[in-house]
A and B are shown apart, each in its own frame.
Chain A
Amino acid sequence: QQPVQSPQAVILREGEDAVINCSSSKALYSVHWYRQKHGEAPVFLMILLKGGEQKGHDKISASFNEKKQQSSLYLTASQLSYSGTYFCGTVPWMDSSYKLIFGSGTRLLVRP
């Protein structure tokens, strides 16, 4: 039931782009993206509720492919502040509960 994230880790130079993927074996109602810095709580980035929906937040955007049960997070022109661990969380479709289950995370390091 836990979504699968890839890659597990990414190292970038400042200004480079990255894509983080999240896939589920179940049909999804929503996908949530969070970033967590070391020693801190996860911070909400964005949520995608509909198939094909894309949302953006500064130079961070995400898409949701309902048919493939996948979501991707796009980080463009990365900044040092983007470093951290990115988690996707998923809520299954037709689930009467509201269980947000997180993937294992993708560690992103942006170097000068």
Chain B
Amino acid sequence: DAGVIQSPRHEVTEMGQEVTLRCKPISGHDYLFWYRQTMMRGLELLIYFNNNVPIDDSGMPEDRFSAKMPNASFSTLKIQPSEPRDSAVYFCASRAGQGSPSGNTIYFGEGSWLTVV
């Protein structure tokens, strides 16, 4: 069974450019999470979805950040315009619903390593 799939794995972009990160959750999972990891701030929860609906976006740092989940198998995290301080590893993660045997376990993708210069 395929895990959480993220793309791109690595991206280097110039300040001011738009960045789009993509995620395909594990099939059948109802929840999708976007985390950001930096040395200074650790693993931060940015936003999470339940059944494609954004539930909590209080961790989204600024209006430059937006996330969508148009269907159960795809989500994007967009940064526009990007800034050097956005450089980080962005993880997408997913989990099954409460009734599932693995319902409480969150599985992480390999991450997207973003560098803004």
Binding site for B on A (CB under 8 A): 30, 32, 34, 40-44, 47, 49, 87, 89, 97-105
Closest to A29 in B: B104
Q: Which residues of B contact A49 (CB under 8 A)?
A: 104
Whether B106 pairs with A41 at a CB distance below 8 angstroms is no
Binding site for A on B (CB under 8 A): 31, 33, 35, 42-43, 45, 48, 50, 55-56, 91, 95, 104-111
Q: Which residues of B contact A105 (CB under 8 A)?
A: 42-43
Whether A97 pairs with B110 at a CB distance below 8 angstroms is no
Q: Which residues of A contact B43 (CB under 8 A)?
A: 42, 87, 102, 105
CA distance in complex: A31, B5 (Å): 25
Q: Which residues of B contact A101 (CB under 8 A)?
A: 45
Given contacts A41-B111, A42-B91, A87-B43, contact A99 B104 (CB under 8 A): no
Q: Which residues of B contact A41 (CB under 8 A)?
A: 91, 108-111
CA distance in complex: A104, B37 (Å): 10
Q: Is the interface of B mostly helix, strand, loop or mixed?
A: strand
Summed over the interface, the residue pairs from A and B with CB atoms below 8 Å come to a total of 46
The 15 listed contacts between A and B (C-beta, < 8 Å) are: A41-B109, A41-B110, A89-B106, A97-B48, A97-B55, A98-B55, A98-B95, A100-B106, A102-B35, A102-B42, A102-B45, A103-B42, A104-B42, A105-B42, A105-B43
Q: Which among A32, A40, A104 is the interface contact of B106 at CB below 8 angstroms?
A: A32
Q: Which residues of A contact B106 (CB under 8 A)?
A: 32, 44, 89, 100
Q: Which residues of A contact B109 (CB under 8 A)?
A: 41
Name the distance in Å between A27's Cβ and chain B's nearest Cβ. 17
Whether B42 pairs with A99 at a CB distance below 8 angstroms is no
